[in-house]
Chains A and B, each alone.
Chain A
Amino acid sequence: MAEIRLENVGHSYDGGATFALNPISLTWKDGNAVALLGPSGCGKTTLLNIISGLLTPSVGRVYFDDVDVTDLDTAKRNVAQVFQFPVLYDTMTVRENLAFPLKNRNVEKDAISARVEEIAELLGISKYLDIRPLKLRSDLQQLVSLGRGLVRKDVPAILFDEPLTVIDQNFKWTLRGRLKEMHNTTRHTLVYVTHDQTEALTFADEVLVLNQGSIVQSGTASDLFLTPEHEFVGFFIGSPGMNFLDGKVFDGAVIVGSTQIGTAESKSPIANGNIRIGIRPEFLSLSTSGNGVAVKINRVENRGGYKLVHADAKEGKYVAKLATDSNITAGQSAHLEFDSQRTYLFRDSKVCGTVNTKGAK
C-alpha cells in the first residue's frame, strides 16, 4: 500500500484551451479510503485515470510513496482496478478468474487457493467458484470483478470506478458493508469514484467533492454535511439538498425581502450587500412558540421514515424534513424555525458566516 501524492496535477483534452481537471495538489495517506464525488463531467474519472496511469496528465507529477510514477503505464504502476461493468474471462471459472492476477505475479499455488477462498468468502460467492462467470447474473459477475480487484495484497492502491452501478439497491447495502469491513481489516489505499453521495459518504474516510474540474471541498461525511464550505456542497450533499434564499447583509443584519431573519456571525465582518442564505431541510423545525418564518404548507410527502414538507413563504420556498409523526397538513399556516448553528451565509458561492436567528422577529 502506498501514500498517493499529486503535485499540481491537471489535465486538458484540447491542448490547454480548457481544463477538464484544473491543477491540484494533494496527499492521500497510506491506507485511507478516498471517494471522488461529483456529477458527470466534473473531472472525477479524469483524476482516477491519472492515478491509474490510463491518462498522462497535461501538467504536474504523480507520486506513489515518493516515487515519481507520472510516466509509468498502468501495468508498471501495479494498481488494481474495478470498473463499472464486469470485466471477466469466460474461458475460465470464477475460481480461475480470481486467481488470475496472483498467478500472473507467480504467487505459489497454496497461497493462491487460500487467498481465493478468503476473498470469495468475504464477497459471498464461494458457491459459484467452479462456474463460468457468464452463467451468473450481472450483479454476481460484478462481485467476481470486485474480487479480482481485491485479491492481491501487494498493490499500492485499489481503484474503483462506479463499481456498484449494476448492483440492485438492496444488495448495495450488503456489499458496501462488506467492502468497508474489508477495508477495516486490510487498510488498503482505496480510491472510489461515484456520483452517488450515499456510496461516497458511507464508504470513505475522506470525500472529495468535484465540480467543473475543481475540488470544491474535501472532508469527512460530517464535515460536508454539517459545515459546507461551498454552495455546491450544500446542494449536492444531502437529499434533498440545502434550501437557498437570496438576501442582503446590512450592518450585520441578515435581511430577506423586508424581514430581518437574524444577525450575521463571522470571523471577519461581512461587507454590506447581496448574500445567499443556506439551510439544510434537516435543520428546519416546526415552531411551537410562533417564532421563526411564517409559511404556508404547500405539500406534505410521507416518505416512511420522515415527512418532506414543502412550504411557501413571502421570501421564497422551503423544504423541511420533519418526523413522521409531525402533525402537519397541506394548506396549513405554520412557522419554521432555523437552527442557528446551521444556517450559513454564502457570497461568491463560498461560505462567509452563519446566521444567528435567536431573538429575530
Chain B
Amino acid sequence: MSLVAKNITLSHNGEVFLDDVSFTATPGITVLVGPTLSGKTTLMRVLAGLIKPESGSVTINGVDVGPISVKDRSVSFVYQQFINYPSLSVFDNIASPLRVQKEKLSKEAIADRVNEVAKMLRITELLERKPAALSGGQQQRVAIARSLARRSDIVLLDEPLANLDFKLREQLRDELQRIFADANMMVIYSTAEPLEALDMASHTIVMNEGRVEQDGEALDIYARPKNIPVAQAMSDPPLNLISSSLATANSETLGKVLSDKFGGAFTLGIRPHNIALKSQGAQDIALSGKVRIAEITGSSTYVHLDLANSEKIVLEVDGAQRFDVGSAMTVYLDRSAVYGFDPKGGLTLFAPAAVR
C-alpha cells in the first residue's frame, strides 16, 4: 500500500499554492506540518481529487488516480470544522458513506462496521443521539468514525483537533495514535502546531509557502532542520534567532570556532530551554540584557530579554520565578545546543550533535 505524490504544482492568478510537491506515504501516519497558508489543505484537496493540479501526479497503490473522480478514490476526508448531518442520528451519520458506496453491504454488515468504529472512538453510548446534542469533541469523534467506517486506503485529516479545547486535543491525539497504529491505512494528518507533530512522532513533512521543505522523522527534523522556516515549524516556543556578532563578542572560543569554520557572520539559533541563568561551564556563551517581561506558566517561567542592538531573546527557566521588568541580567547559552544559520537564505550551517 502506498501513495506517491510527484511534482505537484498548482497556482491561481499568478499566486503559487503548491510548488513542485513530491513525497511518498506508506501505511501509518504521515504528518504535514507548517504554518497557515503553507499549502497543507490544498495538497490534501489534490490528494482527495477535489482539485486538479496544473502538473504532477498522484499514484495510489501503483495506479495514477488523475482521471479517477473523488467518489471513486478510496479516500476519506475529515475537516477542521466538524461536519455531520444534523438530521441523522450518530449511527446513521457513521453509516451514511457505507450506504452510498458502490460495494453494497448488508444491514448487518453496516451495523457491525458502525459498532466497531464507534467502539474504537468511544462513542457507542452516543449512537442514538443527534449531532446537535453532542459536544465539539464528541462531534469530531463522529466525523472521524465516519471516515474510518469506509475502510478507505487513505484517510485525510485536515487539522482535525484545531477547533477543540486544549485538553481535549491532548486526549484525542493520544487515542488517534493508538487507533491508527492498529489500522492498515495511510493517514495524512495536518497540523500547524509543532508540539502535535513531535507528539505524533512519525513520518513528518514540513511545508512552507507551498513547498516541501523537509521530509523525515519528526524528532530528526526537530534536531536537524534544513533551514530557519523548518526549525520554526518544529519549535514551540519559537527558536531564538540572534546575530552571531552579539554572541561572539562574549565568547572567544565561539568566535574562533566560527571564523575557522565559516569565515564570517551567521544567525545563531537556540531554543528557550537551552538558556540558563547560571553558567554550566566555560563553554557557555554569556549574554547580557534587560528584562522586558516574564511569563509564568506554573511549571516554568519565560523571560523575555532585550539585548544590545535591539535584538531579543526568550529563555525558559524552571518553576515560577519573579523578575523585575527593566532589571539587568546575564544569561548563558548552552554551546552544545546552538544552531547556526546562513544569514542570507537561512540554510542550516551547523546543528547540535544530539537532540536538545
Count residues of chain B with CB under 8 A from any CB of chain A.
43
Partner of B298, one of A173, A221, A304: A221
A224 within 8 A of B: yes
For B292, the closest partner residue in chain A by CB is A181
* A-chain residues with CB within 8 Å of residue B36 when the two chains form the complex: 137-139, 168
Q: Tell me the minimal C-beta distance from A219 to chain B in angstroms.
A: 10
Q: Tell me the minimal C-beta distance from B336 to chain A in angstroms.
A: 11
B151 within 8 A of A: no
B320–A225 touching, CB < 8 Å:
yes
A302–B296 touching, CB < 8 Å:
no
* B-chain residues with CB within 8 Å of residue A177 when the two chains form the complex: 292-293, 295, 304
A301–B135 touching, CB < 8 Å:
no
B341 within 8 A of A: no
Contact A202 B297, CB 8 Å, known A40-B165, A169-B194, A303-B198: yes
* B-chain residues with CB within 8 Å of residue A265 when the two chains form the complex: none
Partner of A224, one of B199, B201, B298: B298
Question: A102–B9 Cα gap in the complex (Å)?
Answer: 47
A220 within 8 A of B: yes
Stretch at the interface among B23-31, B232-240, B244-252: B232-240
B298–A238 touching, CB < 8 Å:
yes
A185-220 vs B: 1/0 string, CB under 8 Å?
Answer: 000000000011110011100000000000000001
A279-322 vs B: 1/0 string, CB under 8 Å?
Answer: 01010000000000000000001111100000000000000000
Query: Which of B121-171 touch A at CB < 8 Å?
Result: 135-136, 165-168, 170
B296–A202 touching, CB < 8 Å:
yes
Size category, A interface: 35 or more
B194–A239 touching, CB < 8 Å:
no
Question: A139–B302 Cα gap in the complex (Å)?
Answer: 23
A237–B219 touching, CB < 8 Å:
no
A24-50 vs B: 1/0 string, CB under 8 Å?
Answer: 000000000000000111000000000
Query: Which of A131-174 touch B at CB < 8 Å?
Result: 137-139, 168-170, 173
Question: A138–B35 Cα gap in the complex (Å)?
Answer: 13
B314 within 8 A of A: yes
A168–B298 touching, CB < 8 Å:
no
B298–A237 touching, CB < 8 Å:
yes
A72 within 8 A of B: no
For B297, the closest partner residue in chain A by CB is A201
A316-357 vs B: 1/0 string, CB under 8 Å?
Answer: 000000001000000000000000000000000000000000
A115 within 8 A of B: no
Contact A195 B166, CB 8 Å, known A225-B320, A226-B320: yes
Question: A225–B298 Cα gap in the complex (Å)?
Answer: 5
A180 within 8 A of B: yes
Partner of A225, one of B165, B168, B299: B299
B296–A173 touching, CB < 8 Å:
no
Q: Tell me the minimal C-beta distance from A40 to chain B in angstroms.
A: 6
A169–B271 touching, CB < 8 Å:
no
B325 within 8 A of A: yes
A168–B135 touching, CB < 8 Å:
no
Contact A301 B201, CB 8 Å, known A225-B320, A238-B298: yes
* A-chain residues with CB within 8 Å of residue B355 when the two chains form the complex: 302, 304, 324
A301–B166 touching, CB < 8 Å:
no
B37–A220 touching, CB < 8 Å:
no
B119 within 8 A of A: no
Question: A240–B195 Cα gap in the complex (Å)?
Answer: 12
Question: A239–B136 Cα gap in the complex (Å)?
Answer: 21
* B-chain residues with CB within 8 Å of residue A203 when the two chains form the complex: 295
A358 within 8 A of B: no
B168–A137 touching, CB < 8 Å:
no
Q: Of B165, B170, B304, which is in contact with the most chain A CB atoms at under 10 Å from its CB? A: B165
Contact A240 B170, CB 8 Å, known A222-B320, A225-B320: yes
A221–B297 touching, CB < 8 Å:
yes
B8-48 vs A: 1/0 string, CB under 8 Å?
Answer: 00000000000000000000000000011100000000000
A39–B199 touching, CB < 8 Å:
no
Contact A170 B232, CB 8 Å, known A39-B165, A305-B271: yes
For B273, the closest partner residue in chain A by CB is A305
A303–B195 touching, CB < 8 Å:
yes
Question: A197–B167 Cα gap in the complex (Å)?
Answer: 9
Partner of A169, one of B193, B198, B222: B193
B295–A304 touching, CB < 8 Å:
no
Q: Tell me the minimal C-beta distance from B212 to chain A in angstroms.
A: 19
* B-chain residues with CB within 8 Å of residue A247 when the two chains form the complex: none
Partner of A202, one of B222, B271, B302: B302
B287-303 vs A: 1/0 string, CB under 8 Å?
Answer: 00000110111110010
B192 within 8 A of A: yes
* A-chain residues with CB within 8 Å of residue B232 when the two chains form the complex: 170
B271–A282 touching, CB < 8 Å:
no
27 A-B contacts (beta carbon < 8 Å): A39-B167, A137-B37, A168-B192, A169-B194, A169-B236, A170-B35, A170-B236, A170-B238, A173-B236, A176-B295, A181-B292, A195-B165, A201-B295, A201-B296, A201-B297, A201-B298, A220-B320, A221-B298, A221-B320, A225-B320, A226-B320, A235-B167, A238-B299, A239-B166, A301-B199, A301-B201, A304-B219
Known: A180-B293, A202-B297, A226-B298. 4 other contacts (CB 8 A): A195-B166, A201-B297, A220-B296, A235-B167
Nearest 5 pairs of A and B residues by beta carbon: A225-B298, A202-B295, A222-B320, A195-B165, A305-B273
